[in-house]
Structure 1
């Protein structure tokens, strides 16, 4: 899908370098260099989690850089990976660097990028040298804790009492620009504070200020950032075609909504830049739905989706074809037994807890509030009598006073967690929880809505977790509910999910909230 390389003017080179970027710092510097010679650029990646399909976003830009004749260095930041809260132990870092190099080479070959002017560098090849170490000490003598913490705010995990290693991280990245002898550093917009940090402090060491090229952050399949740690938000480079299909099927893609739409963003930042000059993006549709349609630009695709002339299902089906075209050569490369072994050693399977907590242990049922009144001893609490299909009504105390009136709750169908250990709340024992979607700042709460025609007492389950029986009472010492609750959320379609598995009736009807997308269930 790549364009063939042609001779370009300095202006054309800059246009290709800067297209689809969110921001460029040092535009004048880059244009001035391009009038004399080709650019030298570096992109760094910490070798922690497995590279996933979102890595095609920087790869497509690196393809643009290479097509202008630029020399590109890809830095495998193994030392950075270790310093970032020690996400990867030293014994795995060397293996992961090798794995990353094979993945990235396979990705670039997949999109038809020549590798002659591409160079790979490992951070510890020079970051442990005497001169580099002395520069780190020099930086530490002029940088304040405030500036170091601020610079890493979007990249390094923030805690009340940060480790010194996390404070060093931005300084090391700034020094990389000098030691790699580049004109510009490329990264995501989340790196901006580190880039401006480098622009401020490198000249204080007598080093040149570099330019900075920033990609926008592309949302993952669930609408948030595509992350290595969230399996359902990403498509792995080695995912099978069936896994790609399943993940795209669950992806957030609300009709007409172009915000936080990972599928559209991937089309914009990866697929369209890789199309040949005379090649269009093809949506395959049944004749009954209007037949195939092609788009010569991303803007026309986005407009068709925003005006709902293009259905999410058709977009997902077509995107599946394009993604699999990108992944097929990578899958083939990793059929090599040596690379399979490398993958297993670099990312050994995690040891599962002896008693892994699964959501089938939750007893969640449809309930109906038969009676509700204010708590006699607490102004902020309601006391409800709830029918959950048992002989007697359950008493449930809830903090819904500021969000619903008594009349709004009376005879309302709700979703109830029934096997919490009963607890006294202001002298009245509560034997369950009315589940709600909830957001903070400002505080917003919406009661979960059972499917239509659901009846009190009807069991609710999570898709793919039908096997197993609920615990009679959840173990409070093991914090079962608290652990499961961390992944119990509402997605972009207002559907309640645990780790992207829908909460449903046995008939498959989903539980929803009214409008609080991307909220927690509490």
Structure 2
């Protein structure tokens, strides 16, 4: 390839790039050096294939590619990877990313793999960090990490240092450009501003599109509903894709189409394939074939391709892509590594047995010995029952008085779905409609819909209230929250039920332990904070209050 052809291949399918002229200038003299980094936190998901396919383009264009396993970054980002697990998770990431690249035919011998702590603890690097600390403002550091580092109202210093380290990595890895998702843009422009202050050159930056989550939001390791893990079995993949948002004819907000565009078809191109086949039984019209992504896109847009068929084809393509990775991770060594790097949550204690009452156990003393204690009952409960609740950030779009109840409001709330949900709440004596409109709130989505005085309520607003129930206020999501951001509880990140079974009384079991913390009003369940990817949830003034 000539330099222009290499530049075209390097920059194709990117959402944006900065420093194109400098890249072209270097290409006239030699091949480019690039690095892509990933913090070793939660298990990599299928969204990582977006970067892998782009790295394949760069290798084909002759680039010298470095993959950085940013272990220290993983700890600095609100301790998403515990210090004692950093080494193990770094090994896991290296194994899984090598398996991904192998599965799409990328020769890994052409790559350089580097662990961040191998140079980030050196004297020279540390001195450069201190130099940057002396010149970077708190505002600039917080702004740079706004889309990447977990945002909280009172941030830890570690999160402010994170962008500084990522900027310095460009110099210490000796590259011409850094590649990442478009969510990294603020860190990239931060590096372009501050590296020259240390006497280092400004690098180019390449930004990939971000793969949307299955529920419509960003695909995230901390949101099990938004992602498919690389080691999910075929049945799990089919089940998750079957539940994915895929509205007929909707091509603007469609995670299935996005995945085909940025992962499946680029990989097919790497393998010199262009025909996408959707398997169908003869009674449903037989198989469908498409040449290139545009043909799939147009057929779906014109409603000639049904969502169920699109999901089926995507499921088969994804399972074919993941199968080689699953095979690699069947080895005893990698099974052990996976379990050590991501230890499963502790099992609930076995159910306490109650002895059958007889004449010998009829005395109060005997009854005391054989009746399960309160602690035993708690231990017997599902340790992750709270994960069954589907709590998300919502935005109140409209508020009106209930037509047949003086104490009720009817709200239209955006919860990140195609249409807002209708919610009936008993807030009329606590706040005005004007106080509610436009507010970001917390919404429990998966309670069984209830008809309240003739109006069906499709969710529940969660609020804090004092003991006398004379003051009620909304729970406040973190800054920069968006409708659909999911609430999770660290250590209990399970998959919410699509719809709670009223007979199992999940809400009734969990709700008594929903409180706000004394002092700072942070929302808690059994002492564990309500969190989204962007920070901590709290009430504005009510401390030690009930949440319901």
| TM-score tier after normalising by the smaller chain length | 0.7 to 0.9
* Partner residue in 1 for 2:404: 372
* Partner residue in 1 for 2:280: 285
- What is the aligned counterpart of 1:205 among 198, 201, 204? 198
| Residue 107 (structure 1) aligned with residue 100 (structure 2) | yes
> What is the deviation of 1:81?
0.8
Aligned-residue Cα RMSD (Å) equals 3.8
Separation (CA, whole Å) in 2 of partners of 1:374 and 1:474: 30
**Residues 10-51 of structure 1 deviation map (CA, whole Å, 9 limit, x = unaligned):** 222112111111001011111122222211110000001011
Separation (CA, whole Å) in 1 of partners of 2:179 and 2:253: 23
> What is the deviation of 1:137?
1.0
| Partner secondary structure for residue 404 of structure 2 | strand
**Residues 59-103 of structure 1 deviation map (CA, whole Å, 9 limit, x = unaligned):** 111111111111110000011111111111221111111111110
Separation (CA, whole Å) in 2 of partners of 1:271 and 1:473: 44
| Residue 323 (structure 1) aligned with residue 355 (structure 2) | no
Separation (CA, whole Å) in 1 of partners of 2:5 and 2:342: 42
Q: 1:202 to 1:289 in 2, by over 3 A?
A: same
Separation (CA, whole Å) in 1 of partners of 2:265 and 2:388: 46
* Partner residue in 1 for 2:28: 35
| Partner secondary structure for residue 161 of structure 1 | coil
TM-score for both structures, normalised by structure 1 = 0.73
Q: Contact 1:361–1:468 (CA<8 Å) still a contact in 2?
A: no
Gaps of 5+ in 2: 349-378, 390-401, 411-423, 435-450, 484-495, 517-522, 531-547
Q: 1:471 to 1:156 in 2, by over 3 A?
A: closer
> What is the deviation of 1:153?
0.6
**Residues 309-335 of structure 1 deviation map (CA, whole Å, 9 limit, x = unaligned):** 111111111111111111111111111
Q: 1:476 to 1:236 in 2, by over 3 A?
A: closer
> What is the deviation of 1:374?
2.4
Q: 1:307 to 1:344 in 2, by over 3 A?
A: same
Q: Contact 1:268–1:298 (CA<8 Å) still a contact in 2?
A: yes
| Residue 13 (structure 1) aligned with residue 33 (structure 2) | no
Q: Please list, as runs of the form range in 1=range in 2, the aligned pairs for 1:40-439 lying within 5 A after superposition.
A: 40-275=33-268, 276-351=271-346, 354=379, 355=381, 356=383, 358=385, 372-375=404-407, 381=408, 397-399=426-428, 402=433, 411-414=454-457
Separation (CA, whole Å) in 2 of partners of 1:25 and 1:411: 56
| Residue 479 (structure 1) aligned with residue 506 (structure 2) | no
TM-score for both structures, normalised by structure 2 = 0.70
Q: Contact 1:360–1:469 (CA<8 Å) still a contact in 2?
A: no
Separation (CA, whole Å) in 1 of partners of 2:127 and 2:482: 49
Structure 1 range deviating more: 352-361 or 311-320: 352-361
Q: 1:475 to 1:83 in 2, by over 3 A?
A: closer
**Residues 226-260 of structure 1 deviation map (CA, whole Å, 9 limit, x = unaligned):** 11111121111111111111111111111111233
Aligned pair count? 428
| Partner secondary structure for residue 253 of structure 1 | coil
Separation (CA, whole Å) in 1 of partners of 2:470 and 2:514: 23
Separation (CA, whole Å) in 1 of partners of 2:325 and 2:81: 24
Separation (CA, whole Å) in 2 of partners of 1:209 and 1:29: 10
| Partner secondary structure for residue 142 of structure 1 | coil
Separation (CA, whole Å) in 2 of partners of 1:361 and 1:415: 17
* Partner residue in 2 for 1:496: none
Separation (CA, whole Å) in 2 of partners of 1:288 and 1:483: 53
Q: 1:483 to 1:285 in 2, by over 3 A?
A: farther
> What is the deviation of 1:279?
2.6
